[in-house]
Amino acid sequence: MTVHTTDTSARTDALTDTLTARGFLISTRTRDALHAAPRHLFAPARGWFATNGPGPRHRIDRDADPDVWWDAVYSDGSIVVQAADGAADPAQGVAEATSSLSAPGAVVAFLEALDVQPGDRVLEIGTGTGWTAALLTALGADVTTVEVDPGLAATACETLDLAGFDPLIVTGDGALGVPDRAPFDGVHVTCGVGDVPYAWVEQTRPGGRIVVPWMPEYGEGHKAVLTVTGDGHAVGRLIGTTNYMILRAQRSTLTVPADMAGADETTTDLDPGEVTGSLGADVAITGALPDVMGAPRERDGVVEVELADTAGTSWARVRQGDGEHRVWQAGPRRLWDEVASAYERWTGWGRPGREEFGLTVGPDRQVVWRDAPSNIISP
């Protein structure tokens, strides 16, 4: 429901009603925090709006069209506030988005999973606009928030001060955490990671939680809720889909040549659209092939899957056909064959869904498991 008013309390009520109806918002404490930290205080005057899920994407400008701006700010969508690490205009929606005011549904889902209690010491990774740090503070947490971009950190500091919130803002690499402020009761992560930095585990007390957008090299992003154990590990399940910008220290690019010259060409009966469209299969494939990047593309209405290994030695492309599907592979590895094998193993397990999988993060490695932490998926 859209409320056409600048009454921020009424708009927040309407937004929280929407989030409750969608299953994101449960706690009355979180609802109260959304009122205590009104979203418009942290929204840019100009930006690029994208609804949370399929829907409109467009520029917003508070001065040029205030009605559209207010509607966007109090709806369940993200607003890009930085593009190309500050080198491009975020309101154009063209360059790569590198920081945003996250969609309320995504923010609330992670806050609910973290289950912040008054007095908790919380480490936030990725300050951005400062809105989530304000919400954590409104929930009663003692917040330390880390932002890698000095410009964003400075703006967030000013905004938080004007809004009446005083978390400690640290400018630096979030992957390192803030050891001087440890131990924390919880870690709240607002950027995607494929490898959960062990520093976050080390800096969280046993029994504390880490909520993180786990975004491996292959497939979808996942909400992961991990609990730190007494033996120096963090263990937990995947609870849903998510999509965040990647931690700067872990950015990578999937590159497959446009020219198929030199590649081995074969065919497969396995539909690439089925492989990429099967929830749970992507987690199983990631567990078996943690060093393989993969993403579906659509060209002229036809699904393609592009694959490459992180070492840069091998790549593959699979193009959907009529019955038979064309496969191109190059390099010492046959990446499509490896992905197909991992997919077929997943179907042999009975096609388990995402929620049947989990992660364990330890000092030496990170592993994916099925059903129970002891049931580790191996290559």
CATH 3.30.160 maps onto the chain at 264-348
CA distances from 200 to 59, 107, 191, 357, 362 (A): 36, 19, 14, 21, 11
The three-state DSSP-derived secondary structure of 17-51 is HHHHHCCCCCCHHHHHHHHHCCHHHHCCCEEEEEE
Are 200 and 125 spatial neighbours (Cβ–Cβ below 8 Å)? yes
CATH 3.40.50.150 maps onto the chain at 105-249
- The DSSP string of 57-105 is EEEEETTT-HHHHHHHHTSSEEEEEEEGGGTB-GGGS-SPEEEEE--HH
> How would CATH label the architecture of 264-348?
2-Layer Sandwich (3.30)
> Residue 92 and residue 58: Cα distance in Å, rounded?
8
H or E element that contains 222:
strand 221-228
Tens-place pLDDT, residues 278-317: 889 999 999 999 999 998 888 888 889 999 999 999 999 9
Q: Output the pLDDT for position 5.
A: 57
Closest CA to 332 of 358, 311, 306, 313: 313
Closest CA to 361 of 369, 352, 353: 369
- Residue 28 reports pLDDT greater than 70: yes
Tell me the pTM. Answer: 0.94
- Residue 105 reports pLDDT greater than 60: yes
Tens-place pLDDT, residues 67-86: 999 999 999 999 999 999 99
Pick the CATH number of 105-249 from 3.75.10.10, 3.30.565.10, 3.40.50.150, 3.50.50.60: 3.40.50.150
Instruction: List the Cα angle 327/328/331 in 5-degree steps.
Output: 135
Least confident of 4-8, 208-212, 318-322, 364-368: 4-8
- Residue 244 reports pLDDT greater than 60: yes
Tens-place pLDDT, residues 344-367: 999 999 999 999 999 999 999 999
278 is a catalytic site residue: no
Two tokens at 183?
């131990």
Residues 149-170 have a mean pLDDT of 98
Q: Which of 75, 99, 100, 102 is catalytic?
A: 102
Tens-place pLDDT, residues 213-243: 999 999 889 999 999 999 999 999 999 999 9
Q: Look at residue 195 and give its three-state secondary structure.
A: coil
> Residue 340 and residue 37: Cα distance in Å, rounded?
48
